[in-house]
Amino acid sequence: MTHPTSPVRPRTLLAGLAVAALTVGLAASPSEAAPKQPAERAESSRGFCTAWSRSTTRHLTLDEKVGQLFIQELYGPTATTRDARNVDFYGLETPAEIVQEYHLGGAIYFAWTDSVGGGPEQIAGLSNGLQEAALEGSTLDVPLWVGIDQEMGIVTRMGPPATQFPGAMAVAATRSTENARTAAAITGEELAAVGVNVNFAPDADVNVNPANPVIGVRSFSSDPQLAADFTAAQVQGLQDDAGLSAAAKHFPGHGDTAVDSHTGLPQITHTREEWEQIDRPPFEAAIEAGTDMIMTAHIVVPSLDPSGLPATLSKPILTDLLREEMGYEGLIITDSLQMAGVRQQFDDGEIAIRALEAGADQLLMSQDLPTAWNAVRDAVGTERLPKAELDAKVQRILKTKCDNGLVREPLVDESAVMDVVGDPEHLATAAEITDATHTLVENEAGLLPLDVDGTDVLVTGWGASTTANLGAELTARGATTTVRETGANPNETAITGAVTAAEDADVVVVLTNNAATSAAQQNLVRRLHATGTPVVTVAVRNPYDIAHLPDVHTYLATYSYSPVSVPSLARVLTGEVAPTGKLPVDIPAAGDPGTVLYPLGHGLTY
């Protein structure tokens, strides 16, 4: 694989600085600077950006400094859209007004905020509108972070026509860090084209708990070194190749939780030695790769801080461990402060102050921005948050924005967006990488590959669009296909209908999604096998499903139901492509984590 060679906004530096302006303490205008060649960037950029961020910090108002600490979700497809939800949350109608009133440091995009639903050109227009609002509202032309969670796979905000990839665990199944870097580079290049300059990725958690309800396939592996290698590769792809800022997450490691921090407060029981061996390596690798940001986790780790506070609010974890012991000099950003894991002990104002006191530089998605913003401002006034600490955080933020190239080039060319997003070469590369992700775990009867031409095939199980799309792919290859989607927890009617259809089919392909937690899915698979019709079981998310499906003898793990994964699955099922993926995790026996059914590295082919 090769990396994109023409990123939309590479990591540029600002040169041609008006030195005299800095000498007298004035912030130089970014428009006075010109980019240098790549070989000159690193050293010169550090010098200029350090000087610019220091000077700019000195001249920002207190309100502007406080605002730089916050990154918020904003409602509406354009910067000037009037949306009642903005009024409810912020007391203002439009995203532009909110950016200017609070001097925000950044915005984050979601489908539910209507930020990404109109396609790439709409996203680019929104990004430009928000940047223009920030520049107009700033005394010194400080641009915004525009962030997104584009991990790919199950956490994807910008869908087609943007190039899609399967998620972290799928890419790690290829065992190619080059694939990981290329996927990140293409993803980053397309995000940059629409004005996104921060991708809150990669996930650096080591998923050693198969029952983890929130990480799972978002993690590269249960092996710390494998996770570290792939984390570093994706940081390099996003930053060095595409010019974005990456955010390795969720420090100090969310991979061994049985509780979702969106809905509760998980506790990690690793000893300090276990943390060093399991959780630390990917974050160490991200730091060595130069990650601009590290995102905190709302988890309690008693071996690192016995106070009972979540890591997001823990000075021993964020300052003593991450900043001082590990030597991390980049930005520390919280995970969303709307999540239950950080909201069990304090109100929104106190959460914001304590996160900053703990060592965070930026606060993501306060539940009550007016309260949090004023609380932080008051904390500076009373010296609870010393002005020197505030300035240090703001300077780190500004320097990172400068290093990113954002200060010199905050806007994107809306007319050129579709020259980059969904580029045919990108799509072809994504398909090639995806073909290498699928892991054939069992093929005991030699059922695969399938010759579907002229064959009656039933496609059933989880996912309305996933089963329908797979059915269409098989039909295009000559099969007579019946599709009966049964859902995540199929009822008796759905199961009976699938079983009846299976009795009339030549072969069944059943898709599972987290069957470990669904007795109904397990029952469906068991009854399909009881028909005597040959059955291929495909886990389209967690590879661990097979441990709960004792009747299964033909089993594929795709780790993903991304739009790029289903056509690739069809190619593997029919033998157009041989499966070459290797398990990035151990699959333990159900109820007996000490017994490994299929070890990390297992994978068959044909």
Mean pLDDT across 535-558: 97
Decide: residue 428, CB within 10 A, 0-12 exposed, 13-18 middle, 19+ buried: exposed
Q: Where does the pLDDT of residue 409 fall: very low under 50, low under 70, confident under 90, or very high at 90 and above?
A: very high
What is the 3-state secondary structure of 208-257?
CCCCCCCCHHHCCCCCHHHHHHHHHHHHHHHHHHCCCEEEEEEECCCCCC
Domain 19-64+103-422 has CATH 3.90.1300.10: no
In angstroms, the Cα distances linking 243 to 190, 294, 410 are 11, 17, 12
**Choice among 141, 260, 262, 553 that is catalytic:** 262
Residue 583 near residue 441, CB atoms below 8 Å: yes
Q: At what angle do helices 120-137 and 177-193 cross, to 10 degrees?
A: 70
Q: Where does the pLDDT of residue 16 fall: very low under 50, low under 70, confident under 90, or very high at 90 and above?
A: very low
The tokens of 110 are what? Answer: 């979601």
Q: Is 260 assigned a catalytic role? A: no
Q: Would you state the pLDDT for residue 405? A: 93
Q: Would you state the pLDDT for residue 166? A: 97
When mean pLDDT is compared across 21-35, 401-415, 591-605, the lowest value belongs to: 21-35
Residue 241 near residue 229, CB atoms below 8 Å: no
Q: Would you state the pLDDT for residue 36? A: 33
Q: Where does the pLDDT of residue 40 fall: very low under 50, low under 70, confident under 90, or very high at 90 and above?
A: very low
Report the candidate in 85, 89, 1, 13 with the shortest Cα–Cα distance to residue 49: 13
Reported pTM: 0.93
- Check pLDDT > 70 for residue 28: no
**What stretch(es) of the chain map to CATH 3.40.50.1700?**
438-598
**Choice among 83, 223, 335, 586 that is catalytic:** 335
Q: Where does the pLDDT of residue 100 fall: very low under 50, low under 70, confident under 90, or very high at 90 and above?
A: very high
Q: Where are the alpha helices (DSSP H) in 36-147?
A: 38-59, 62-68, 84-90, 95-102, 120-137
CATH number of 438-598: 3.40.50.1700
C-alpha span between 3 and 181 (Å, rounded):
8
Q: Would you state the pLDDT for residue 263? A: 86
Q: Would you state the pLDDT for residue 139? A: 87
**What stretch(es) of the chain map to CATH 3.20.20.300?**
19-64+103-422
Q: Could you read off the pLDDT of 236-263 as tens digits, one per residue?
A: 999 999 999 999 999 999 999 888 888 8
Q: Would you state the pLDDT for residue 190? A: 98
Q: Is 335 assigned a catalytic role? A: yes
